[in-house]
Structure formats: C-alpha cells, structure tokens
Amino acid sequence: MIFKMDNNANKKIPVKLFLLILMVIAAGCRNGKVETENKVSPENTAIVKSKDSSKIIKRDTGAIFEGLYIINQNTNSFRDCRYPDSLYMVNDETGNLKKSYEKIFSVRNVYGSVFARFKGELKATEGINSEKYPSTLYVKEILQIEKKDFRNTCINYDFWALGNEPGWSLQISKNENIIEFYDFADKKSYYCFYEEPVDEDGTIIYAAHNNIQRYTIKIRIRKEKCSDTMSDTGYDYSAEIELSTGKKFKGCAIKGKEQ
C-alpha cells in the first residue's frame, strides 16, 4: 500500500486520517504474523532427541517433568511420560534424590525404577554419555517420588499382576525391557530382561532368567475372571508365577493398553 503526500504544503493530511493509516499498517503486520511477544527464545528451550532421529522435541526450561526415575551402576536416568522413547541423564542439584530413592529401594538394585515428579530444566549433555543421553535433566526441586505401580506408571506395560496371602506384584513391560517380580513377605525383588511370550492353548506364557543372580521365573496368564481376595475387585485375567527357588504364587492380572 503506497501513500502519496501532496507537495502543496498548505494541504496537509488530517490528523484523524493519519491515525487511521497507522492502524491499517499495524493490522497488516499482525495478519502477516509479524509478532514477537509469543515467540520462545532459543535460550529458554532445550532440544531433546528421541530414538527416532527424525523427531526433535523442544521443551521449555523450568518445567515440571513426570516419569520413571532409575539409579543404575553408572548413571541416573529418567524416562519422560510425555515422550516415553526419550531417556535423559539426571543431574540432581537438590542433593536429596538418591536418599528419596533409597527409602523405596533399601536394597541396592540396578533395575528398579520409581515414579517421580521433578521441577527442572533440560540441557544438552556433554562428555562421553552424550550419544546415549543427548539431554540431561537438571533437577531443581523434587515434587514427588513413590513406588511404581499400575496406577501411577505412565509407560505402557504388557501385564501387571498382583496377589495376596502372601502379597506379591509383577510387572511385564516390553517398553521398559523388564519382567519384575516383588515378594512382599521376603521383601525381595526378582528382575529379568523381557522375553517374548508363547501361547499354549490360550495361556500366555512368559519364561525369563537372570544369569547374574541365577534364578528363573515362569509366568502363566489366562483370560478368565479373577477376583482379589482382599478387596473383592474383579479382573479379566488370572496369573500364576513360579520361581526357580520353588515358590509359587497365584493372583490376578491387568492387561496394558495396546501398543
């Protein structure tokens, strides 16, 4: 839009018309998306690379993160609920994260994860771990840490099973690459890497082993009505667990969402 000024100094554009012209120009800028107030500046974002290298995720810093936190032999890591295929290295700036974790897992393990909510920010990882963990989550404040179960976990699982007398729980998760059984009476956890199941006449059978601790676990899951003897809650699957120690357990199972 071109506005031509009259060369005659005595013929000036009225003030109201001039203001109207300015309003039209401003509206045109907005329609052309020449706005900056809602833009996210690069220094306030962190780039997160997922396993799929084609995906680049931008997250605001100072955000609240929910997911699964795990302490292993070499590094602490965090699996983000919103981006389950993203695994971050963890840098605890509070100094209290390990203590909170150990209140849940009194016995040291290399597989157990907990559900956690943190306030923190993401930064690019530096050093030898940058290839495996492109981003590091710097924890500024611990908001919540509790034992993981089928109610709070945000990472999909194949099955979660539970039983009473004696009490026990079982998680089978291909996404987490884990089969985890916990015996409440002995306060002992059994961990194995995930193994694909087989189907025998409608019974889903998982068999896995732990070479380091030298035990095996066999799980049979059937689609049939099952009731929790303590709460009278009904479930669609039953579960039987047999350990190489000779212990056997019976209970009910919950099927996870479709992948």
Helix, coil or strand: residue 113: strand
- In this structure, the answer to whether residues 142 and 175 fall within a common structural domain is no
- In this structure, the answer to whether residues 64 and 100 fall within a common structural domain is yes
Cβ contacts of 167 within 8 Å, gap of 6 or more: 184, 185
Within 10 angstroms of residue 33's Cβ, the number of other Cβ atoms is 6
- Where does the pLDDT of residue 84 fall: very low under 50, low under 70, confident under 90, or very high at 90 and above? confident
Tell me the two tokens of residue 74: 């070499």
Residue 181 lies in a domain: yes
Q: Cβ(71)–Cβ(101) under 8 Å?
A: yes
- In this structure, the answer to whether residues 131 and 196 fall within a common structural domain is no
Residue 36 lies in a domain: no
Q: Cβ(236)–Cβ(143) under 8 Å?
A: no
Cβ contacts of 14 within 8 Å, gap of 6 or more: none
Residue 113 lies in a domain: yes
CATH (domain of 116): 2.40.50.140
Tens-digit pLDDT profile for residues 116-128:
999 999 999 988 8
For the entire predicted model, the pTM comes to: 0.67
Residue 184 lies in a domain: yes
Residue 38 lies in a domain: no
Q: What's the total number of domains in the chain?
A: 2
- In this structure, the answer to whether residues 179 and 114 fall within a common structural domain is no
Tens-digit pLDDT profile for residues 176-203:
889 999 998 888 889 899 999 999 999 9
Residue 21 lies in a domain: no
- In this structure, the answer to whether residues 49 and 110 fall within a common structural domain is yes
Domain stop point among 147, 172, 188? 147
Domain range for 138 is 45-147
- Where does the pLDDT of residue 76 fall: very low under 50, low under 70, confident under 90, or very high at 90 and above? confident
Domain stop point among 147, 179, 202? 147
Within 10 angstroms of residue 157's Cβ, the number of other Cβ atoms is 18
Within 10 angstroms of residue 105's Cβ, the number of other Cβ atoms is 16
Domain stop point among 115, 147, 179? 147
- Where does the pLDDT of residue 70 fall: very low under 50, low under 70, confident under 90, or very high at 90 and above? confident
- In this structure, the answer to whether residues 173 and 245 fall within a common structural domain is yes
- In this structure, the answer to whether residues 79 and 163 fall within a common structural domain is no
CA distance 65 to 82: 9
